[in-house]
Structure 1
Amino acid sequence: MTLDSRPSEARTRLLTTASKIFYSEGIHAVGVDRIVAEAKVTRATFYRHFPGKEDLILAYLREVHQMDRTQVDAAIAAGGRSPVDLLTAIAAAISARIQSPGFRGCAFLNAAAEYPDKDHPVHREIVAHRQWFLDTLTTLMAQVHAATAEPAARHFVMLRDGAMAAGCLNDPALVADTFLRGIEGLLRINSERNAAESAQPVG
């Protein structure tokens, strides 16, 4: 069978349907038959676009990754803002997501719980997404305080992960506020470090 990866209404419908169910109910719990039925396509159509369920899962995660990347890249490309403002904007977008209707945590962390094998293609896709996010934050943090860019970026990711997990267990508004306060403190500390070092006399 020839795989058809071209954009099409059927492929979009399959991916949209699967993404909604995977996120709300989990990946392993959902079979191809249900996706085909809810997307209103035939099994032949499904397999024309995706050789198997794993390929659909990878497409789902890549779609989520692209949405995240587009949002971050757009903020950076807009220009005219300091690194602190950009990092604050990224945090604000995360905060808004936590408080959005139907929020059920991070799609990648949820998928990681179902695919713990580090050699599995799905797990590798998750790691690639998280590495992109960490690298992006590290680049921005380096412009706030170069010496602590890497640990500060990891701190940001950990705050984000905690907020994503708590956001579907506790009051989302309270979790989002706590997360933003944590990011604000992280950025303030590193900005003050940079200012203090810049004020020191040379030589």
Structure 2
Amino acid sequence: MLNIDRRILAHFDFITIILLIPLIFTSGWLIYEIHPMLGQKQMVYVSVGIGVFVTLFLLPIRRMLWMIPIMYWTGILLLLAVEFVGHSRLGAKRWIEIPFVHFTLQPSELIKPAFVLMLAYLISRNPPPRGGYGLKDFAKLSFYILLPFFLIAKEPDLGTATVLALLGFGVLFIVGVRWKIWVGLGIAFIVSLPLIYTQLHDYQK
């Protein structure tokens, strides 16, 4: 029998859930009006999302920290799979088609929670010293940020990739990194801006 910590329920944001319910039903109805098949897919996605939410809410996450690296690297493998078996739409290859059910999976969305959990997992195992992370630790953490960044940017999906990069390095900024590293990165970024600009697609420019 599950033993739910009552402190979680005491701090649970029921108001947000109540506000989301009419939004879900209204969006589902509008999508169904456009195309019944899309409406059915929308309801399936919502149902799966609710099921995942309830499952994760009830799981004792702190006792299952060993799963976090598995989630992260599974997400990376799915991003790599997009390159080989991905489904293209409007000039972008971002989706994997699930056989027999005619549904598509977007790994760049699945990697987001795994990415955040992985950063928290790594930081909890190696907290920053008093002066902040040095170059070696910063480089190690940056690897876990930049790996999904480049895989997603290659799809191309620069928007999602940039959000992940800003989120990841924003977490490191708050946790603590030596200021000399940030200054060096800032100078390197400014110097490389012309080169970065030439590599962008027209719509990204």
Q: State if a TM-score over 0.5 links the two structures.
A: no
- TM-score, normalising length: structure 1: 0.40
Q: TM-score, normalised by structure 2?
A: 0.40
**Higher RCO (CA < 8 A, seq sep 6+):** 1
